[in-house]
Amino acid sequence: MTKRDTQMSVMDAINGRRSVRSYTPGKLDAGTVRALLAAAVRAPTAIHQEPWSFLVLQDPAALKRLSDRAKVLFREEAQRAHLDRGGHTLDAFADPDFDVFYGAGTLVVICGPAGPFVPADCWLAAENLMLAAHALGLGTCVIGCSLAALNAPEVKGELGIPSELSAVAPVIVGVPAGETPPTTRKEARILAWN
């Protein structure tokens, strides 16, 4: 893996990060994963609780099983919530060959216990992880459609997530297979400036 200079500015990392949906085969080495986790735990945390725990999943068979389970559960959830609205956005989830992890060989799931600030803390850790990955020349993407599967009791048991914890922030990480173009963003909507 070719690593970028990790000394890029914060603004360059923020503006350059993309949600990557195509990866080269293979998993990240342990040193790289540990560097990303070290960045994650530097995130702000309410009352200095540091509630996060991390699941690193790199087994191809387990990733495939999780993807298959996630497709079924997300499709059911999306249909109940009428997220499709008559379009074709859910068609990919019916395709047996579709991989919700886009071929990435590493999934990092940030987990936490119940608590009022835990989701925010976990998502702050996820952003640190994603910015650090970008600085290293890696791609990331949040895979929210996998949450229902990750929090299913039988999947938690299989993956070693304790029952008192919930998966909060699932992020795939890997070497991008090509360039991901930038996307446009709306300007900040300012409700008030007193």
* pLDDT at position 111: 98
Write the CB contacts of 33 (distance below 8 Å, at least 6 apart in sequence): 56, 106, 108, 173
**What is the structure's pLDDT at 86?**
57
- Output the tens digit of pLDDT for each of the chain's 194 residues: 445 555 789 999 999 999 999 999 999 999 999 999 999 999 999 999 999 999 999 999 999 999 999 999 998 888 787 776 555 567 888 899 999 999 999 999 999 999 999 999 999 999 999 999 999 999 999 999 999 999 999 999 999 999 999 999 999 999 999 999 999 999 999 999 99
H helices of 1-59, in order, are 10-16, 30-40
- Measuring CA to CA, which residue among 93, 90, 23 is closest to residue 60? 23
Q: At what angle do helices 118-135 and 30-40 cross, to 10 degrees?
A: 130
Element (H or E) spanning 118, and its range?
helix 118-135
Kindly report, residue by residue over 74-105, the tens digit of the pLDDT.
988 887 877 765 555 678 888 999 999 999 99
Full-prediction pTM beyond 0.85? yes
**Structural tokens at position 116:** 């009022």
